Copies of this chain bind each other. A is one copy, B any other.
Amino acid sequence: MIGVLGSGIGGLTVVRELIKQLPEYDLIYLGDTARAPYGDKSPETVTRWALRNTGFLLNKGATLLVTACNTISSIASETVSKRYDLPVFEVITPGVERALSYSKKLMIGVIGTRTTIESGIYEEKIKQMSPEAKVYSMACPLLVPLVEEGWIKKPETTMIIKKYLHPLKVKQVDTLILGSTHYVRIKKIIQVKIGKRVNIVDTSEPVAAKVEGFLKDNKETERNLGKNGRYRFFVSDLTERDQKLAASIVKRNILLEKGEN
- A83 contacts which chain B residues (CB < 8 A)? none
| Residues of chain B contacted by A156 (CB below 8 angstroms) | 156, 159-160, 163
A239 contacts which of B40, B142, B149, B163 (Cβ < 8 Å)? Answer: B40
B41 close to A34 (CB less than 8 A): yes
Q: Which residues of B contact A241 (CB under 8 A)?
A: 40, 114
Contact between B145 and A41, CB atoms less than 8 A apart: no
Residues of A40-77 at the interface with B, using a CB-CB cut-off of 8 Å, are 40-42, 44-45, 48-49
The reply on A189 being an interface residue by CB < 8 A is no
Shortest CB distance A219–B (Å)? 41
Asked if A84 CB lies within 8 Å of chain B CBs, one says: no
Measured CA separation A71–B136 after assembly (Å): 38
Q: CA separation between A237 and B49, bound complex, in Å?
A: 12
Chain B residues with CB under 8 A of A42:
237-239
In the complex, which residues 207-254 of chain A have their Cβ closer than 8 Å to any Cβ of chain B? 236-239, 241
A114 to B149, CA, bound (A): 11
